[in-house]
Structure 1
Amino acid sequence: MDIIVPKAGLTMTEATVTTWLVAEGEKVKKNDTIAELMTEKMTIEVEAPESGVIVSIIKQEGEEVLVGETLATLHTTHSYRDEKENIALPSANEVLKSPSNETASPGYDAAVIGGGPGGYLAALRIAQLGGKVVLIERNELGGVCLNAGCIPTKTLLKGAELTKIHTFSSEFGVYYPPPTIDFAKLMKKKETLIQQLQKGISHLLKKDKVTVINGVGEIVSPNKVKVTKSNGEIETITSKNIILATGSEAHIPNIPGLKNAKPWASKEALSMTELPESIAIIGAGAIGCEFAGIYAPFGVKVVLIESENEILPGADLDVAQFLKKSLKKDGVEILTSSQVKEIKEENGEKTLYIEHKDHYKEIVVKEILVATGRKARLEKLKAIGLEEENGGVMVDESLRTSIPSIFAIGDITGKENLAHVASAQGMVAAENCMGYQKRMNYELIPRCIYTSPEIASVGLTEKEANTKNLDYQIGKYYFNGNGRALTNGKAEGFVKVVRDKKYNQILGIHIVGTNASELISEGVLAINLEATTEEIAATIHPHPTLSEGLLEAALASMGKGIHV
């Protein structure tokens, strides 16, 4: 039986676990107080729903929990519930080790904990290589990417893009009235796509004979995983290798009043069926900019707040400034060099007190979305001796942790919180589990932001080239001179190439414009193959296509531009 976070009051949504009064394996009676939680307003006692034995404590002291989340699991039988009978409870050892409660699985080549884009791909690859593999996932297959990240946001961004058709279709002699928005239907479309892709993953795993267990996996030794299933049963898995792919969760900054204002993270934002009247987005990285690009076209008043001097910190400056203009055109108010100092909620409105450059500013909105990054899920890992680094599990180039039989991939490594990086790491870890010698290269990672227009980059920015004291030259080509972009009616944006002068090697490529995320793959391949700008120039590109932009930018970087 699951012991869940109770809802104490109409407005309660979350709490913090302050004290556990019992331990795993301890006997409890019905209505015994087993834990204490703290909210903004009060302390809540959690009682045992039945008599039994505590099998596992899932949420640790200090962790934040949501109403309805599972705190612990309880082993109980029908006889325990009949309090009129004086039946002795079995010992903790009997419950935790008895055949009725715990089973031992046969050995595997690999046990993968986490079924996100890194975990399920690693499991598939191991199976393809002839390995016996088990995949453990506590929620839904696909992880944050499929269920509360990449796929849901791209669905909503498509809806936002469709609201703009009437603004340029008249140029082609096609007229549409201004759109009406059925946001609930769009969210239903999002759910349909998620379920379709989940079924696809499940089919692939079944086809390749991957054993899938729905439950919480916990490493108890270098070759053993304890899985607590949703029904309270425990299965012990032995495996030659273990791959950790437990992902990350939203990082909520410590701003006075923020928790009391009940902010959204991306998960909450993607579960709403009604649009907010107004919203403040704290953080103007990729996630913050994408949500601004979702809400503004739907008519929501959006304020985008960033502590750095420019949005998209770390991105190419030309690209960031171009997107800034585009977001402002959609009606987004952007505050850079701004720190949120305090938040107060009153009468259903939330006031943000912001230090903006050299003065203070107040913003009043209905909702707040926090987009200040994500943090790795590292709970219970210190106990087994895994070393940490930069907020994640320390891994080498082969994705091996400080314990040789344990690998880590995805957001938990603290490297790059990108789904395609997790997938690439999953492939490397899987093949190393099966005896291959593979290494991960982080220099060739494409970074895509699915705003309107899209942004995609790979390699060095100008700032990074300067920091490395490289002798470089840039070439830039604007899509307003591209035939296909003009016929599409979407000619905003450019391609920028950073070229090493001495060897003509391509150091970086940055694209802003329609389908930038599709165009960047040629750039990734070029840098992977250490291609020169001459080789790009000698490659015939079809006409008319957007891909001609890379050809023109490569030529321009050598001072040989044709259509610039």
Structure 2
Amino acid sequence: MSEHKYDLVVIGSGPSGESAAMNGSKAGLKVAVIDARSEVGGNCTHKGTIPSKALRHAVHQIMQYNRNPMFRNMSEQKWLSFAQIRLTAQKVTEKQTAMRARFYARNKVDLFFGQANFQDNQTILIELENNKVETLKATNIVIATGSRPYRPPEVDFTHPLIFDSDTILDLATTPRNIVIYGAGVIGCEYASIFNGLGAKVDLINPADRLLAFMDDEISDGLGYHLRGHGVLIRHNETFKSVEGFDNHVILTLNSGKKIKCDAFMWANGRTGNTDQLNLSAIDLPANQRGQLDVDDKYQTTIEHVFAVGDVIGWPSLASAAYDQGRSVSGVISNNGTYRKINSVPTGIYTIPEISTIGQTERELTAAKIPYEVGKAYFKDTARAQITGEETGVLKLLFHRETTELLGIHCFGDQAAEIIHIGQAIMAQKGGGNSIRYFLEHTFNYPTMAEAYRVAALNGLNRLF
């Protein structure tokens, strides 16, 4: 057993871990990264963000082809299997993994593949695949182990027709009908994917509305759109049992309903990956969801031990994880790159996309802030008519008196890209965050960005 000494050891090579390691190395720290997988990239690259968004893009392309009358002149509708589109995701994952491996080599970050176990708050033992053991001594340690799907013990996930959001990527066939339990971000995204592949989808929602944290109008729009394409959404339903048989699964709900399907996907909740770290050795408790509490600078209750990314909970987004990782290594190295992360845009890759930043109408009403609304419906924009992506709306919320931009909510094609224009204006100081910006500057035509001008005119015309 050998021992190595580092200024910084990062456990996990997902977005937050990678960012912490890269920034730490550039700041002159001697850095090592430990990952339980034999490849870098974390869940984001191998099980979550990258493969699911690659799947979504492939399915969206199939949908565009099948509904475009121009292509009907060349051939009949085409349908691909889940296994076929999964190959697209695998290729993207391979490219991402290779690229990220180069990052570590270029920045002289040492990589160790194996399970990390705390011995004390500055010592980590690594169980390598070849039964060898390495010991790392670290001045500072960052836990960036991410999360995994929550698995209720009553559900038999070893059954070949029962999946979670990780194992669904191993699905070999395209089910004729699938039940997805959980209508959060992951559930809604996979409902769009399987619906786009022609499967009948039952989306079971334990809550009373889809994506309850979103603006109500945007949430309602998604529900209307999914139903319009054949997804059956069941609100306020909780599961009693899931039974797997040779060629089908039966879900029994507490309401007494029974639903038969070819495949069942559990998409309700996630758990922080902390149970294998031997945190008891440093007296660092995780909450019931396996997550760690941190302060504003991502430090846990243990000196020199920090945590970032999904393992600390909100906002559980890859985009925020990158910023958290850079910030925590900025704290450790004191190189000026720390920043407190508050406002984060949310991107939800349903078909169509959803993206939002800032306050919702419900929040503004509760706070008694006098706001007004400006909207641009995509069906009325030239660019959307050209691309055939006419479903959607850009919604701007702004202060009636100051015209300060308070919230941006977008549902439609390229929503996750469109949002950043408004985000940049919201962040301006000294009155630069007014909705009037969109009238005082010229937008290319025809573009989707032009929707900001239309929405600003619509909103300002409401003032008196």
Question: Shared fold by TM > 0.5?
Answer: yes
Distance 1:390 1:424 in 2: 26
Give the corresponding residue for 2:36: 138
Tell me which residue corresponds to 1:354: 253
Q: State the 1:511 CA deviation.
A: 0.5
SS of the residue corresponding to residue 164 of structure 1 reads helix
Instruction: Show the counterpart of 2:261.
Output: 365
Aligned counterpart in structure 2 of residue 385 of structure 1, from 273, 279, 283: 283
Deviations 1:507-563 (Å, cap 9, x if unpaired)? Answer: 1101011111111112222222251212233232211100111222233232269xx
Q: 2:353 is matched with which residue? A: 454
Question: 26, 29, 38: which is aligned to 1:128?
Answer: 26
1:247-296 CA-partner distances (Å, limit 9, x unpaired) = 11111246x55658663111110122211232110011110011111111
Is 1:544 aligned with 2:446?
yes
Q: Find 2:106's aligned residue among 207, 218, 233.
A: 207
Q: When the two structures are superposed, what TM-score results if normalisation uses the length of structure 1?
A: 0.76
Structure 1 contact 169–175 (Cα < 8 Å) conserved: no
Which AA in structure 1 matches 2:380?
G
Q: CA 1:535/1:382 → structure 2, altered by over 3 Å: closer, same or farther?
A: farther
Question: 2: CA distance between counterparts of 1:303 and 1:462?
Answer: 29
Structure number with the bigger relative contact order (C-alpha 8 A, sep ≥ 6) is 2
Is the CA contact (8 Å cut-off) linking 1:445 and 1:524 kept in structure 2?
no
The 5 Å alignment of 1:95-494 reads 102-105=1-4, 107-139=5-37, 140-170=39-69, 175-253=74-152, 256=154, 263-355=162-254, 360-379=256-275, 380-386=278-284, 388=286, 391=289, 392-436=291-335, 439-494=338-393
Shift of 1:419: 0.9
Aligned to 2:434: 532
RMSD: 2.1
Give me the whole-angstrom Cα distance separating, in 1, the residues matched to 2:268 and 2:51: 19
The residue type equivalent to 2:268 in the other structure is T
Q: Which amino acid aligns with 1:377?
A: N
2:353–2:413 Cα contact (<8 Å) kept? yes
Which structure has the greater CA radius of gyration?
1
Equivalent position amino acid for 2:209 in 1: E
Deviation >4 Å, runs of 4+: 171-175, 256-262, 387-391, 437-440
CA–CA separation in structure 1 for the residues paired with 2:386 and 2:143: 48
CA distance in 1, matches of 2:283, 2:82: 47
Judging changes above 3 Å, is the alpha-carbon distance between structure 1 residues 343 and 183 closer, same or farther for their aligned structure 2 residues?
Answer: closer
Please say if residues 82 and 171 of structure 2, whose CA atoms lie closer than 8 Å, have aligned partners that are also in contact.
no
Secondary structure class of the residue paired with 2:408 = strand
AA aligned to 1:367 is: A
Cα–Cα, structure 1 residues 175 and 329, in superposed 2: closer, same or farther, change >3 Å? farther
Aligned mates of 2:283, 2:456 — CA distance in 1: 49
Q: 2:415 & 2:389 partners in 1: Cα distance?
A: 12
Go from structure 1 to structure 2 and tell me whether the alpha carbon gap of 1:559 and 1:426 turns closer, same or farther (over 3 Å shift).
Answer: same
Unpaired segments of 5 or more residues in structure 2?
none
1:421-476 C-alpha deviation (Å, 9 max, x unpaired): 11110010111111145555443211111111111111111112223232211111
Structure 1: distance between partners of 2:341 and 2:368: 21
Question: 1:25-56, CA deviations, whole angstroms, 9 ceiling, x for partnerless residues?
Answer: xxxxxxxxxxxxxxxxxxxxxxxxxxxxxxxx
Aligned-pair identity in percent equals: 28
Q: Secondary structure at the match of 2:15?
A: coil
Asked if structure 1 preserves the Cα contact closer than 8 Å seen for 2:66 and 2:78, the reply is no
Structure 2 counterpart of 1:136, one-letter code: I
Residues 63-78 of structure 1 aligned to structure 2 (within 5 Å):
none
Q: Taking structure 1 as reference, are residues 476 and 259 closer, same or farther at Cα in structure 2, changes over 3 Å only?
A: same
Residue correspondences, number? 455
